[in-house]
Structure 1
Amino acid sequence: MFCFVAMPFGLKNAGATYQRLVDKIFRHQLGRNMEVYVDGMLVKVKEAHNHAEDLEETFAVLRKYRLKLNIGKCAFGVRRTFSGIYGDPTRENGRAQSIHLIINRKGLAFFKTLRKAIPRETLYLYISSTSQAVSSVSSTKEDGTQTPIYYVSKLLNGAKCRYPSLEKMALALVITARKLLPYFLSYLVGVVTITHLKQVLGKPEEEVSKERPWLLHVDGSSTTQGSGAGVVITSPQEEDMEFAIKFDFKASNNETEYEALVLGMRMALDAGALHLIAYCDSQMIVKQVSGEYEANEESMIQYLQQIEELKTKFKSFQLQQIQREENVKADSLSKLASALEDCKTRRIIVQHLLYPRVPLNIQATTFGGRP
């Protein structure tokens, strides 16, 4: 287990990890006197005389979990009025940037109807588009009445004005998701539209196959004596085909695992498999193929490209990780292949021995009173 002292924001999942962290440590304040997002924290209060207590509570949590703030980016003493949000210079302890908020006076009547969303309730997002603009309204249902929460609109220009109607609806959804990212992370959002947006953006539903899948167990082995792969293919009739492949080249452990998987997939195709479930005991290989781990080495990237090409030749393909003790056959075959020095003219015959040549329950014989 590894622990980061400083949050490495270069990672792909850094934002989600940070959001889970702040949601956990500020769970007693969220919705009451604080809102926390990936790009900022807001300590809010309705009465000015309670603001110092809320800040003290927040700083106590920060000290407890040793979470540091950049004072240069903090703004204190910010007041909100009906005209917008502005900084109060008499109460600012940090160097806060001035915030300018321009509200169209024609839309004030609409904004009066907006209300705060209740945690864990479902938000309904209505999106629409015209030739010049796209817009969306998020709302909730309460006692059969819909109440708007947030309104987003964007004026289109240039080539975006010539987008097809369906692409404009998708653009409206993307703009809204970026603008209302905290809502999308905290609430269940349902998109309401008359277009076939779900079929366009969603993944096609996989057809349920009535055919029994083929099973593939693979394993690779790399030792000082050599390297090899073990492949076990099981047909729908539960007939096993076992292969021990000796490599005439040097390969690392990860490379032998990839070679075993590629060889097994090709052999399964040659055997006539259309639906294949592959099993491998290497966590790294399984995670890289699924996309959870990122491959950095050039050889790993090329192996992944070959696997992606082979996956398209199957009607369905799954790769699952199993424990080493569940992959005994392939593991034994890979070790056998890596241990062989020359198998060009070698034939290995496996026989069964039913009984021992010498009885194993031999009684001790004594001579001269001594055993």
Structure 2
Amino acid sequence: MEQGKRAFNFNAGPAALPLAVLERAQAEFVDFRGNGMSIMEMSHRGGVYEAVHQEAKELLKELFNVPAGYDVLFLQGGASSQFAMIPMNLLQPGKVAAYVDTGSWAKKAIKEAQLIGETAVIASSEAEHYTRMPSLEDIQVPAEAAYVHLTSNETIEGTQFQAFPNTGDVPLIVDMSSDILSRPLDISQFGMIYAGAQKNLGPSGVTVVIAKEELLAASPNTIPTMLRYDIHQKNNSLYNTPPSFSIYMVNQVLHWLKEQGGLQAVQEHNEEKANLIYDAIDSSQGFYRGVAVPENRSRMNVTFRLTSEDLEKSFIKQAEQEGFVGLKGHRSVGGLRASIYNAVPKSSCEALVQFMKQFQQQNS
């Protein structure tokens, strides 16, 4: 199927999936590799599914070059459940959970942690209306910190950390829901990273956690079984029925990422896509205005405004008529947003830039 028959999908999540992955899944949907049934119909205790499950783990470790001493979990409940699970498992008595406030998703994580125990906001960009990320120098780690938590990419505001703070012996925990696997990273600098799959990894339904085994083993036995990392780690994420089809799809996306040349090639492609759109914004002589400061612009979520809300509404309406989907900004901030995750092809970004230029000519 050609791109011309598919929407230009700029949805923030659930988001675009690689066409090649969708076509492979379609071919295997009814009869998975000659087993006479869909993978959705198989027991998660059976060898066929377990092989897919384990392969997804190993591919993730390979692509990210995950060092020894870390494990991968496939959980449920999205990143939003991790907001509570992290302090429940890791915030020990007498310690404080240290958070960096960067916008909408960071604030949700902070709110959940405050329900569990003592929480401190150690850096914030609220005064700048979350148009930037706090500088690394502003992130000072308290001596009593159990961990430091930050959000690598704020989907709603369109800001992204380009580097991460050194937190020493205090585990750095990062919500990477909207930019995981978009670039190579040194995983050893993190105690834990986690991500809902529905932006860059696959369909909704599965949440990936990559963490040091010592952190996963630290769960107190006073919290519910399903919320304990150690239970999931000991059972290879098979303690209960996993979201098997979502994990199968993650497996397929990981294969696709490897076929693209790995994360260095993916990063270069993502930067090309983002630069196309940011260049169109910056060269528009003020017709379009980027929301985030240039040094913290997201490579995943391009947020921008026009000179009036009426003009923005007209932009969205005309864009939809031309087959562009998902360009309306989040309801909490308004404006416009193009989410250009790994699976969004460069051709979609080129088509968007062409539309932006035409719209400017018509309305200048």
Shorter-chain TM-score: which interval? under 0.3
Higher relative contact order, chain-length normalized (CA < 8 Å, sep 6+): 2
In terms of fraction of residues, the more helix-rich structure is 2
TM-score, length basis structure 1: 0.21
TM-score, length basis structure 2: 0.22
